Structure 1
């Protein structure tokens, strides 16, 4: 199944066009490799998705072409959620 379709059906990302944009920006990895929207996912794959200042890592448990909203969460297991540290800009001392 295509990555963008999985993200939409599993409701990790609400719209397929948004899933494509996120993937095309290099914000999704499959098993540690940067993925495109057209990348093929399979059961057992590990996805890491960067949402702003948060990275969510999930394991794909099952693939379905369609699913009800209540059953969407059964398609994956959240392994971890980590917040990214905000990098403070360094100030340059002009008086030197």
Structure 2
């Protein structure tokens, strides 16, 4: 599954176009490598996303094409979260 689609389906980022912009700005890494929106993810990949004043490290647990809002958090596990000042 593409990175931008994963971010949208898992509801980490609301819109796919916004996910593309964030990836294009170099604010996302997959397994330590800078990621583009088209980067293909697989279960077990580690994402580091820089959201404004926060850096979140996630592990991809499952990939689903469509998921209900209540089940969206089951697609990833938060490994680490820190504030950046």
CA RMSD of aligned residues (A): 0.5
Give structure 1 regions of 4+ aligned residues with deviation exceeding 2 angstroms: none
Normalising by structure 1, what TM-score?
A: 0.87
User: What is the alpha-carbon distance in structure 1 between the residues aligned to residue 20 and residue 55 of structure 2?
Assistant: 17
Number of equivalent positions: 85
Tell me whether 1:47 sits opposite 2:47 in the alignment: yes
For each residue in 1:41-68, what CA deviation from the matched residue of structure 2 results, as whole angstroms up to 9, or x when unmatched?
1000000000001100000000000000
Normalising by structure 2, what TM-score?
A: 0.98
Unmatched runs of 5 consecutive residues or more in structure 1: 86-96
Larger Rg belongs to: 1
Return the structure number with greater relative CO, CA threshold 8 A, min gap 6. 2
What secondary structure is seen at the aligned counterpart in 2 of 1:65?
coil
Q: 1:12-31 to 2 correspondence within 5 Å?
A: 12-31=12-31
